[in-house]
């Protein structure tokens, strides 16, 4: 038999997913000798044998790969045989640069769940059970290659049994880096008033939750605050302590059966809940609700998550069947993820702490996804279970960093045709969050082995993300307009680069004319954009104050819609201001003093929500618009008037007639639910009409939808369906949130396109 030799190099998500033992078994299957090893950026393989076996092996590398693996490239070159006697798994090889992608954290697999449930298994009820098919990855890795000494598990020497499994290529724990057992692995304990309880801490925690206590629980990517979701007093107390007035809490439920008792679940929602990513899935709650109304006030939905670690599984077997599980922090502060920071920051929030000694190197909040009828899903937050999965770019680039937006921040590192968006960072308006933002950038750059030559940032000079970009030495800076970044992100994640009609609908973005944009229609590709339409501008009395107080936006729209009668109409609607504040707002609207112009679609929804009595007090971002959507009558098909005018060659989408008609109907006694629905329908009709006018003028049939407004399911589905019925091709976000979390991806795509033009 003539012996041949092949060298293979495989890149993608091929570390931490059982790829080397898979290669080992595949080589034995085809009677091949050689070796396999990890490098900092790939898996390398050499095999020797007859040519037919090598060809079958090469095919199997792609067709039989582990479920968690994702192969981006597979190259092979011929080489002279060297006479390998057997097939071996070699030690990993560190390289100066890394092209690999680190796998995301994975929910507990069925095999591990069976082990922790079996009294005869040595991992019975062990809360850190995992294997190559599940467990922590991204949150524990410190550097590449992904080997145990490079993770936070390095401090736990393996016992003989674990070491034997770890070194056996035929065992599913072969090089499962977090592998451990009760003999040698991390421990869990309960702390109450600085006293440590090591005896059955999970049962003791469950008992505390049943008694209405609030417990801080160390999870996979950080601490959560938990309480009994059925207990009004406990949920109310958690809101007071956390400073979270009305924003919905997420719930962990025991299993899919409990989830179905709480919410109406279709097949897509069930698939989300049971997926390897285990996101928080938003679904319509059943009425009457089986949990406290304080869990999600003013909201038809609940956010549910099923246990994704053995610790959560064991806890949920003993505690109430549904518990609040919300981020372990004060409202708007970074997530606590170290034992020390939890004790310091959460001491006034929690009655007890369920601790463990497995360190979290990179905190990562839960992902949040909303399934829609028809198969679409809206990603509200992309984090645990998804990060650091890469997104393919439609354009090649040198290393670029996108620093993201100010709110719902993510950053993004891109090179070649690969973009890796970060986990959810949050709003960069506190020193602690900004410190973590810088730490996370440094870590991802180190992990991926890439240092940016170019940094793309928002045009707003006061954004902390922009200031960070400008503080980095020896890089080329590229400023990117906020709404162009929205549209570019939608194009990029759909693998497109051609010119489109982009609808960028959100709350706030710095415009090139110095005004505040937010209801924008752009003709855009990755390299450039033209603003061809926008919502009619109104004043924002008090600037930022009008974002925090929807009554102020209602006052601005009333001023435009009812002229001299606006204050009388405001009183009739119950929108009251103190005398001094009323005089200040009147002066601001009449003179423009500290009252910038905005074309924001988000501010329009704020104004409507306040004016018709749905949400006049805002306690969290997006609350007025969210509650407006939740209140809308799903069966109402009517709409209100609007106008589309031309001004300086642009379409001006005038929703002031819509607002006026809505207010008149409210004063006439029409139900807010009816008005809310008709307002949504009006916006859909107005945007669709504008797109048709632009298609007639420009001959463009491709539409891209982006911006926080498209988290609204009525607008998202209603507009998409209407545009498709009109014959448009419609692109939506499927891999990133439509909100500002996608900005960093759009920034790197735009920078790549601009640099490509410069180089040509």
Which range, of 3-17, 503-517, 691-705, averages the lowest pLDDT?
3-17
pLDDT value of position 29:
94
Residue at token pair 């053995």:
310
Alpha-carbon gap, residue 518 to 486, rounded angstroms = 11
- DSSP 3-state assignment of 653? strand
Per-residue pLDDT, averaged over 602-611, amounts to 98
Q: How confident is the model at residue 95 (pLDDT cuts 50, 70, 90)?
A: low
Residues 6+ away with beta carbon under 8 Å from 751: 397, 400, 402, 454, 456, 478, 480
Handedness of CA 627, 680, 369, 752 (dihedral sign): negative
pLDDT of residue 15: 80
Ranking 8-17, 457-466, 471-480 by mean pLDDT, the lowest is 8-17
pLDDT(700) > 80:
yes
By percentage, how much of the chain surpasses pLDDT 90? 91
**Selection from 617, 605, 612, 608 nearest residue 573 by Cα:** 612
**Taking 60 as the threshold, does the pLDDT of residue 97 lie above it?**
no
Predicted local confidence at residue 475, as pLDDT: 97
Q: What is the mean pLDDT of residues 459-466?
A: 96
End-to-end CA distance of the chain: 52
pLDDT at 546 over 60: yes
Place of tokens 């003709």: 523
Q: Which of 650, 102, 721 is nearest to 374 (CA)?
A: 721
Q: How confident is the model at residue 442 (pLDDT cuts 50, 70, 90)?
A: very high
Residues 190, 204: Cα–Cα separation, whole Å: 8
Domains within the chain, CATH numbers bracketed: 4-89 (3.30.70.100), 102-186 (3.90.870.30), 188-368 (3.90.870.40), 390-493+740-759 (3.30.420.360), 533-731 (3.30.420.40)
Confidence of residue 67 (pLDDT cuts 50, 70, 90): confident
pLDDT, residue 98, reads 52
Which residues pair with residue 419 across a beta bridge?
A: 391, 414
Q: Note the pLDDT tens digit of each residue in 296-332.
A: 999 999 999 999 999 999 999 999 999 999 999 987 7
Q: Which residue has the tokens 């992990």?
A: 447
Q: Is the pLDDT of residue 96 over 80?
A: no
Number of Cβ within 10 Å of residue 201's Cβ equals 22
- What percent of the chain clears pLDDT 70, i.e. is strictly above it? 99
- pLDDT attached to residue 101: 65
pLDDT 10s digits, 221-261: 999 999 999 999 999 999 999 999 999 999 999 999 999 99
Mean pLDDT of the region 427-442 = 94
The span from the CA of 110 to the CA of 473, in Å, is: 49
């Amino acid at each position: 038999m003539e012996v041949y030799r092949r060298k293979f190099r495989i890149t993608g998500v091929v570390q931490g997913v059982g790829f080397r033992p898979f290669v080992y078994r595949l080589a034995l299957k085809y009677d091949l000798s050689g070796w396999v090893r990890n490098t900092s950026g790939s898996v390398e393989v050499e095999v020797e044998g007859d040519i037919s076996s090598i060809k079958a092996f090469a095919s199997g590398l792609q067709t039989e790969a582990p479920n968690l693996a994702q192969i981006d490239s597979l190259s092979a070159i011929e080489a002279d045989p060297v006479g390998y006697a057997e097939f071996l798994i070699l030690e990993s090889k560190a390289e100066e640069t890394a092209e690999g992608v680190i796998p995301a954290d994975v929910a507990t697999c069925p095999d591990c769940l069976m082990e922790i449930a079996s009294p005869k298994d040595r991992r019975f009820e062990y809360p850190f059970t995992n294997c190559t098919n599940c467990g922590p990855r991204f949150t524990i890795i410190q550097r590449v290659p992904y080997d145990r000494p490079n993770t936070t598990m390095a401090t736990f020497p393996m016992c003989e049994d674990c070491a034997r499994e770890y070194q056996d290529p035929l065992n599913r724990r072969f090089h499962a880096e977090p592998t451990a057992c009760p003999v040698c692995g991390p421990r869990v304990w309960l702390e109450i008033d600085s006293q440590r309880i090591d005896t059955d801490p999970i049962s003791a925690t469950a008992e505390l939750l049943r008694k209405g206590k609030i417990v801080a629980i160390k999870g996979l990517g950080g601490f959560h605050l938990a309480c009994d979701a059925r207990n009004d007093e406990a949920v109310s107390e958690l809101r007071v302590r956390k400073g979270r007035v009305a924003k919905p809490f997420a719930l962990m439920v025991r299993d899919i059966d409990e989830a179905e008792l709480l919410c109406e679940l279709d097949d897509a929602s069930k698939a989300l809940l049971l997926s390897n990513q285990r996101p928080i899935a938003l679904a319509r709650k059943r009425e009457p609700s089986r949990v406290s109304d304080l869990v999600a006030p003013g909201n038809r939905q609940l956010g549910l998550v099923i246990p994704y670690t053995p610790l959560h599984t064991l806890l949920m077997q003993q505690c109430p069947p549904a518990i609040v599980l919300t981020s372990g922090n004060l409202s708007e502060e970074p997530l606590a993820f170290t034992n020390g920071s939890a004790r310091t920051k959460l001491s006034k929030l929690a009655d007890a702490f369920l601790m463990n000694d497995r360190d979290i190197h990179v905190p990562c909040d839960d992902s949040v996804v909303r399934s829609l009828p028809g198969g679409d899903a809206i990603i509200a937050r992309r984090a645990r279970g998804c990060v650091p999965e890469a997104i393919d770019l439609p354009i090649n680039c040198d290393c670029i960093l996108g620093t993201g937006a100010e709110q719902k921040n993510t950053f993004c590192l891109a090179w070649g045709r690969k973009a890796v968006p970060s986990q959810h960072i949050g709003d960069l308006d506190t020193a602690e969050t900004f410190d973590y933002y810088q730490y996370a950038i440094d870590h991802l750059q180190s992990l991926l082995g890439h240092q940016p030559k170019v940094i793309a940032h928002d045009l707003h000079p006061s954004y902390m993300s922009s200031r960070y970009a400008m503080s980095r030495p020896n890089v080329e800076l590229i400023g990117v307009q906020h709404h162009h970044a929205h549209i570019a992100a939608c194009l990029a994640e759909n693998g497109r680069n051609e010119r489109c009609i982009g609808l960028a609908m959100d709350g706030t973005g710095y415009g090139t004319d110095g005004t505040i944009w937010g209801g924008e229609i752009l003709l855009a590709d990755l390299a450039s954009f033209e603003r061809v339409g926008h919502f009619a501008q109104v004043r924002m009395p008090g600037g930022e104050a009008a974002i925090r107080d929807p009554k102020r936006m209602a006052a601005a729209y009333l001023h435009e819609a009812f002229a001299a009668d606006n204050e009388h109409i405001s009183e009739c609607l119950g929108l009251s201001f103190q005398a001094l504040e009323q005089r200040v707002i009147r002066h601001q609207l009449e003179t423009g003093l500290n009252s910038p112009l905005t074309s924001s679609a988000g501010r329009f929804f704020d104004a409507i929500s306040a004016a018709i009595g749905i949400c006049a007090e805002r306690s969290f971002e997006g609350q007025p618009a969210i509650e407006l959507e939740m209140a809308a009558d799903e069966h109402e098909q009517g709409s209100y008037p609007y106008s589309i005018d031309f001004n300086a060659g642009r379409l001006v989408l005038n929703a002031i007639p819509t607002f006026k008609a809505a207010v008149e109907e409210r004063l006439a006694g029409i139900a807010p639910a009816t008005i809310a629905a008709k307002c949504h329908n009006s916006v859909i009709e107005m945007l669709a009409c504008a797109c048709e006018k632009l298609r007639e003028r420009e001959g463009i049939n491709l539409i891209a939808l982006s911006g926080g407004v498209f988290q609204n399911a009525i607008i998202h589905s209603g507009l998409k369906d209407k545009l498709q019925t009109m014959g448009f091709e419609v692109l939506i976000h499927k891999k990133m949130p439509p909100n500002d979390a996608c900005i960093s991806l759009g920034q790197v795509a735009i920078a790549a396109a601009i640099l490509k033009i410069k180089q040509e």
